[in-house]
Structure 1
């Protein structure tokens, strides 16, 4: 049996923007194209800036950009 310990820690908030990639998980070039398109979109449409601003206003927050690859 593994040893484990339960601890109390301060709460935090995760602010994120996410997208589901449609390329096959073995299609590296396709994944990179979708990743680049996502990054360019959130930068150009202001989503990233809004997320960064909101994250700075929240105490104990973490900024995240999430890419999900589906099979």
Structure 2
């Protein structure tokens, strides 16, 4: 099984700008393209920079969440709910146990894809003591090291 940790986290808020994902949830290539296209747009149009201005830290969040039976994907930052710009979603992450998987890749997209594949394709399918029961999950870009993007995947889990 892949290398992972279980970590207790306090509740936190991510302010995110989102897009609905329309590819089937098993269409990994389609979902990856939709997410990459979305990130290109929010980087180019300055909306991600607007979020960075209200951020509590330097972390960038790529959040996946089901809202009203729609698969949503958000670019976000950790911030106070009061600072959310118009059109942004306040995404609440619960206090509790989180599956945490670390990684590094050449780009943010590659990091997100790699960590998601490890989490949902390996760790959660093989886990015997805990399970993901829904709610938002996120890849957190924590910085850059030796030309690589570093980060973690945080997924809320419960004991089985």
**TM-score, reference length from structure 1:** 0.61
Contact 1:42 1:48 in 2 (8 A): yes
Equivalent pairs, count: 57
- What is the aligned partner in structure 2 of residue 34 from structure 1? 34
SS at match of 1:54: coil
CA distance in 2, matches of 1:37, 1:46: 15
Q: Report which of the two has the higher share of strand.
A: 2
The 8 Å contact of residues 51 and 63 in structure 1, kept in 2 or not, is answered as no
Instruction: Let me know the Cα RMSD of the aligned residues.
Output: 2.7
Q: Give the Cα–Cα distance (whole angstroms) in 2 for the partners of residues 66 and 51 of structure 1.
A: 14
SS for the counterpart of 1:31 is helix
Measure the CA separation in 1 of the matches of 2:60 and 2:16.
6
SS in 2 for 1:14: strand
Stretches of structure 1 lacking an aligned partner (at least 5 in a row): 1-8
Distance 1:37 1:51, change over 3 A: same
The structure that has the greater radius of gyration is 1
| Structure with higher helix content | 1
Q: Which fold has the larger relative contact order, with Cα–Cα distance below 8 Å and residues 6 or more apart in sequence?
A: 1
